[in-house]
Amino acid sequence: DAKTTQPPSMDCAEGRAANLPCNHSTISGNEYVYWYRQIHSQGPQYIIHGLKNNETNEMASLIITEDRKSSTLILPHATLRDTAVYYCIVRITDSWGKFQFGAGTQVVVTP
Amino acid sequence: NAGVTQTPKFRVLKTGQSMTLLCAQDMNHEYMYWYRQDPGMGLRLIHYSVGEGTTAKGEVPDGYNVSRLKKQNFLLGLESAAPSQTSVYFCASSSQGAGSETQYFGPGTRLLVL
């Protein structure tokens, strides 16, 4: 199973871009990279996912390296409401439905 | 469209008591999941279901039972609660299990076992 490594915490100034790194060096060719976030006391919220190509939606951008061993989630203009724990997850293809959540990165956006 | 809802939101139990947590989704999703989250930790999968009438064990199934009698509902049961089951429980659902799919989570149920 591909595992992910994320920094435990990071700070970001309001209005600036937040770049959240994730290492997944053992990822298989058909495994997706997902990002979720969890705002305090709430259920996790889907942000974005991708396989090989970079992806963008209204919330964020996902940059995946060519070798797929790492990725970066970009929040283009962080707001105070983006303060949350961000989880990088590699989808386990042999056990459908199962997402393995690690400890994530605690992001604190400051004024 | 309420998405995924969970009842109750909060519950206090004494050791040995039983209870059932209810998860409901109105998105016609086939797949449903129960996770638990302990303080400072990520989510761990307890049980999941790939369709009405089916259930399967996740990472931490001991002490829990589940049932999926209706497609829209997924019940998590604690037959004899223990303090180690104090946690926040999240339910999730998704439209498909394999490949590219998104899980939608409920707001959580906070359980305290004394």
Q: Which of A22-26, A105-109, B42-46 has the lowest mean pLDDT?
A: B42-46
Which residues of chain A does B31 touch, with a Cβ-Cβ cutoff of 8 Å?
Answer: 96-97
Q: From the list A45, A49, A101, which residue is nearest B43 (CB)?
A: A101
Give the distance from residue A103's alpha carbon to the nearest chain B alpha carbon, in angstroms: 5
Q: Which of A46-60, A94-108, B8-22 has the lowest mean pLDDT?
A: A94-108
A101 falls in which pLDDT band (50, 70, 90)? confident
Give the model confidence (pLDDT) of A69-96 as tens digits.
999 999 999 999 999 999 999 876 555 5
Give the distance from residue A73's alpha carbon to the nearest chain B alpha carbon, in angstroms: 17
For B69, counting Cβ atoms within 10 Å of its Cβ (0-12 exposed, 13-18 middle, 19+ buried), the class is exposed
Give the distance from residue B108's alpha carbon to the nearest chain A alpha carbon, in angstroms: 6
- The confidence score (pLDDT) of residue B96 equals 72
Mean pLDDT of B46-74: 94
Give the model confidence (pLDDT) of A36-62 as tens digits.
999 988 999 999 999 888 999 999 999
Mean pLDDT of A7-16: 96
